[in-house]
Structure 1
């Protein structure tokens, strides 16, 4: 029996020494003889290594002298060595009592070079590829890098970019890796079509999504890049759009892009199912918690019976109810909406059920992916912290806040079990994006006031300064008769609270027909949110104003009537002069606008009071207010109406008189169809308009898409009617005319353009009510924002 065992051992040893081979597929094969028993060796010899230490190789082999091993152990050793990425070939064999491990080391990458790339810089590509200088070369990794580079070009809209790779042998087992890139032309989106939509036109839905058709300006906007991830975001945007307009059964059946290689363009199609349109039916609150009554909560309801169903209103109600219930001392209460569809009368009754939820606490908040943004910038957007009761509604709101910061390309909040059954870990995964901006723009305004003529502006801004969530902006601008310099800084969470604090420093110079002005000053401001839609801002303002004669009107520093028309006596009283204004101001801001860039629904109102007299020369109190309401008139064709009302009054106090520069002056925001400072009280001798102490204005406007023009260009038409009055004066002296309350009115048409340089607008207005001495200006071109 003993002899038989010795014989088997000898056969096993002979088989191993005669035929253990590693194939390129990573499989160990024993030639001719199957090993019946494990083998033993006395030592392990490593051959072929030059850079990798032999002991390192032995550790990966993990076969120990004097211990039994078999083919499975050899196979595992080979796989471990290959997995290190340090070797291009591995062979293991046995020679007598020695296990021989022969390796061919991977070449070392000396340089990674890119050729032919212009649209993506070398540094950006280097960060994306896996092969790096001083690392091990791998042909498989190089091929993977080729695909990575192609994907990088696809993300900037160049799907037909081609990439090839090769190595240059430098000797001594060193290589250069060269990626040659043919960038090709920009891949366009030829068309975006919708199937299954009847309530809203294709053009209206194309305006909802982020992906846009290619047009003449796409090379600037870059919004015509096809991306499957963007399509998923577009699907969600479509769902929100329909859900907020009564279509609770809406769904996106499919979205896809078809690539045409010959034309290097995509055709994108969305297939949707709209379903019925619902209104809210009965709205009720069902509480199972003793002591919690409907009367305590009904004021929090944002959903109203008879209104069209809106998922956004349901969400607002959930947040309001959850906060109110928590304030009443029920930290673990859960608010759940339950909808009941009535298909016959097309209503959805909503019952908000309030139950005592399971006691669960937030053990910790774990943040991942923020290499630049500091943890506390993310944590402060949560209305709960470690140790607080778990509340899904508050977590959803924190997610929206993080997304609104615009610091991240994606935000995802998930949960994980804590150390105890009643503990929950919040996991916040973010993907950061660039928050710096460098912008250069220009334009032309037809106004004859301080903003008239050609203007250019350049600015450098950072929304997430040093990863602290602070914003800083430096802007320089000007035109033929103006210069502007501004430095602004904002800390959104002052002293760790949701109070914004910041300052602005500015210097503005203007050259008018007969005089010049220089304004140098600064503002310290604080902002405080009161509710989700109402906020307040207080500020201290210090400003020095210097006024002088226009140099073209002077001869030896004396005003020359032969060069300029006579200047008003009310202007000559303060020119030349230096004036210091020290004031405090407070504002209430109400904002429910759906989009500040392209508003279609909601209200924006601003009421401001400013008191000057805390030192300085000025002593007055000023009130201004403006409110604008947007309302869809025909949502299916994107017809939008707006109504705007505004007014202001300034009143002196103390011993100081109002100057001509303290009065309100008309502009295109007050009424179109008239020149800057073209209405109101005027000097009876020179005819110069002097401004007024009081004004009121109103606007009614209808905006619509332009037929036969792609909405992706951003052009929209408008018809409008303006009315305004500017009256009253506190100037000392006689000869003032036109200071009574007289209304002016105008009607006109406009064209707005959401350009890559900012919102622009051109208007043509015709006065239909005017007074003697008014100055008419039919065309006006400038910034379109009218908030």
Structure 2
């Protein structure tokens, strides 16, 4: 019996194995739940409304006539999900039919944003990838949420939250709403430095762009946390230390820690200063024929024993490159070789001058200029297609394009051309608004309270032309002026234009009369070199002296009435200043020559020379020496009072406007002079406040004199003696405009001069 039982058990196991192994019988796949075995006789798609059934079948990896393969069915399921068209997909078997049941993702009808005040809706829409009439998917929504949060973090709002909301509509459509809670700006509460010994934390905070939050930075975004700015700050620190001789300097780490309430950041820079290096031997190694090292050594700005300065090395390379180019060498490569002695802390510098690769400019591509014409940018290039490539000229070209002030950003890139000896220059610009409607309000001791308005377009119709209309009404002087400038007249580097003007001046307090000038001027200005410019101007205007007081000087009364002036002016200017608004080094000089008498009633020859030099001898300490002199010679008759020089006020502080010079003994009216000279020695310095406040102090001494009128008379007080004053002041580049206050006292003066202790200038533009 036991043997018989074992025999029946064996038959059962064999029969079961046969049944499971038989291809004609079904078994269930654990992955999809679909029974295997048999052949697919039909594929039926259910739930598809917007998507065609044929489209659904095209994504399947199993087709009619194939066997029910669980692996291929599983891959088909994943393929359908990957399309992003469906919110849910199931595949099941109904006999010999493979049923694909889909739930379609809805279509976005409209996208809206709620709660966004700091970032415009247009900017948010440009950032996200979803659009109306696009299929909605949760993955894309989450990606767009991250993009929006990134946009807010760039603006310093790390506490911002974004919650997407879906509003169901008919026909499987939805409205997508992003509910935004912007939160407060995440400020930088504290910036610390670890490892710095040569410079204090305060010194290094002045170097970097990121600032600690303070009440006076309400108009600045530098105290908001920006990770991109953190990278820029590391580079600023590196440049600062290299400039001061620390050639081994490196930033070990920069860590930004967010406070638990997400309202502020603590930033810590860990630095390794290393030793400070002095300059050792400086050499120029030249491998070009007919070029000596002595020729280029004069352009070197570092001497043996100086502290090493990476900026000075770069400047020397630029000067040497320019000098070699002026000598006619088109293909030159100048590289500074640095040999560092870590034991002696000395750096030897060798400027290696080799013949560079013979490369020519194949093409100049310009992009990003939607409004500005190509030729406006192209004419600023010092290189043209076909020229030998010159890196120095390329740098000057970029600076000239930036100086147009038409663009927020200018990128110039050199890429290989179609051949080894050719290069392509790509210029990418980002335009900014060049039109301005401005209102002006302020006060000055010279003109009193003033208001004004102007409208200006600096890039008219994208041609680079400038057109402006301005008016100013003040207690002492009011003006209306219409100006037009063509920067490249007749296709040449000549700035030409015209001015139409009317000026009304009240001089009752200084000379007992009023005046009016109405006319126009034609002008042209062009460069002779990078630093030398020349200009011409023709002016035709009607001058009128009226409202003369009964008690006025007899010399003033004789000037009453109208006169026509026809004047030709020539200017020659020289300018090497590093910044025209706030210079710290460089020289400015200008010679102005006026010739009147080619028609009109006034006939004279007048010369004037102005000059300034700036020198920064310590960080923030700038010495400024200014001087001016002039002489007007009558060619017929007398020089009218409107054509004379006046001295005092801004050009001789401590004295009132027109407070120095020939004066009527009885009325005290200022009569002006035929010659003058003035000068000033001034030092500006920081007063301990943060640099970004723009507040500086200065001490100064002014001097000058003025004299001679024709005809001379005993009724005129006119000594021509030297006057001098000394004083101090404060200047503030405030958010509402420049503000200056000066206090000065005469040191050398005449008893009939008019003094003025305090001088105030307040101006604003909005």
* TM-score past 0.5 threshold: yes
Structure 2 unaligned regions, length at least 5: 1-18
8 Å Cα contact 1:647-1:694 kept in structure 2 = no
Corresponding residue of 1:628:
612
Corresponding residue of 1:714:
694
Structure 1 unaligned regions, length at least 5: 1-6, 21-28, 551-558
Change (3 A) 1:360 1:569: same
**What are the residue-to-residue correspondences of 1:491-640 with 2, within 5 Å?**
492=487, 499-513=494-508, 514-532=512-530, 534-542=531-539, 544-550=541-547, 561=550, 566-593=551-578, 595-635=579-619, 638=620, 640=621
**What are the residue-to-residue correspondences of 1:169-248 with 2, within 5 Å?**
169-197=168-196, 199-200=198-199, 202-248=201-247
Corresponding residue of 1:168:
167
Query: Could you tell me how far 1:763 is from its partner in structure 2?
Result: 1.0
1:649 corresponds to which of 611, 630, 643: 630
- Distance in 2 (CA, whole Å) between partners of 1:321 and 1:285 is 10
8 Å Cα contact 1:212-1:712 kept in structure 2 = no
| Range with greater deviation from structure 2 (133-142 or 90-99) | 90-99
What secondary structure sits across from 1:762 in the alignment?
A: strand
8 Å Cα contact 1:246-1:278 kept in structure 2 = yes
**What are the residue-to-residue correspondences of 1:426-437 with 2, within 5 Å?**
426-432=425-431
8 Å Cα contact 1:49-1:103 kept in structure 2 = no
Change (3 A) 1:665 1:783: farther
Corresponding residue of 2:16:
none
8 Å Cα contact 1:417-1:423 kept in structure 2 = yes
- Distance in 2 (CA, whole Å) between partners of 1:464 and 1:64 is 65
8 Å Cα contact 1:528-1:535 kept in structure 2 = no
Corresponding residue of 1:4:
none
8 Å Cα contact 2:487-2:495 kept in structure 1 = yes
**What are the residue-to-residue correspondences of 1:307-346 with 2, within 5 Å?**
308-326=307-325, 328-341=327-340
Query: Could you tell me how far 1:719 is from its partner in structure 2?
Result: 2.0
Q: How many residues align?
A: 743
Corresponding residue of 2:757:
778
What secondary structure sits across from 1:118 in the alignment?
A: coil
Query: Could you tell me how far 1:780 is from its partner in structure 2?
Result: 0.9
Change (3 A) 1:32 1:158: closer
- Distance in 2 (CA, whole Å) between partners of 1:79 and 1:464 is 57
TM-score by length of 2: 0.82
Matched, 1:358 2:339: no
- Distance in 1 (CA, whole Å) between partners of 2:64 and 2:567 is 89
Change (3 A) 1:33 1:168: closer
Any idea what the Cα deviations from partners look like across 1:726-745, whole Å, max 9, x if unmatched? 22334x46345343331222
Query: Could you tell me how far 1:679 is from its partner in structure 2?
Result: 0.8
Corresponding residue of 2:746:
767
Query: Could you tell me how far 1:462 is from its partner in structure 2?
Result: 5.2
Query: Could you tell me how far 1:762 is from its partner in structure 2?
Result: 0.8
Corresponding residue of 1:23:
none
8 Å Cα contact 2:258-2:266 kept in structure 1 = yes
8 Å Cα contact 1:581-1:618 kept in structure 2 = yes
| CA RMSD across the alignment | 4.4
8 Å Cα contact 2:613-2:626 kept in structure 1 = no
What secondary structure sits across from 1:232 in the alignment?
A: helix
TM-score by length of 1: 0.80
Query: Could you tell me how far 1:464 is from its partner in structure 2?
Result: 5.1
8 Å Cα contact 1:617-1:656 kept in structure 2 = no
Matched, 1:454 2:449: yes
Matched, 1:107 2:106: yes
What secondary structure sits across from 1:772 in the alignment?
A: coil
Any idea what the Cα deviations from partners look like across 1:93-138, whole Å, max 9, x if unmatched? 8889998776554434333333333333333433334344444434
Change (3 A) 1:424 1:403: same
8 Å Cα contact 2:243-2:308 kept in structure 1 = yes
Matched, 1:751 2:717: no
Change (3 A) 1:779 1:202: farther
What secondary structure sits across from 1:220 in the alignment?
A: coil
| Range with greater deviation from structure 2 (76-85 or 691-700) | 76-85
| Range with greater deviation from structure 2 (343-352 or 677-686) | 343-352
Query: Could you tell me how far 1:528 is from its partner in structure 2?
Result: 3.8
What secondary structure sits across from 1:670 in the alignment?
A: coil
Change (3 A) 1:367 1:256: farther
Change (3 A) 1:296 1:569: same
8 Å Cα contact 1:641-1:700 kept in structure 2 = no
Change (3 A) 1:773 1:215: farther
Change (3 A) 1:546 1:383: closer
Corresponding residue of 2:9:
none
What secondary structure sits across from 1:741 in the alignment?
A: coil
- Distance in 2 (CA, whole Å) between partners of 1:457 and 1:73 is 79
Any idea what the Cα deviations from partners look like across 1:25-74, whole Å, max 9, x if unmatched? xxxx65467899xx999999796242x67777777779999999999988
8 Å Cα contact 1:436-1:461 kept in structure 2 = yes
8 Å Cα contact 1:441-1:757 kept in structure 2 = no
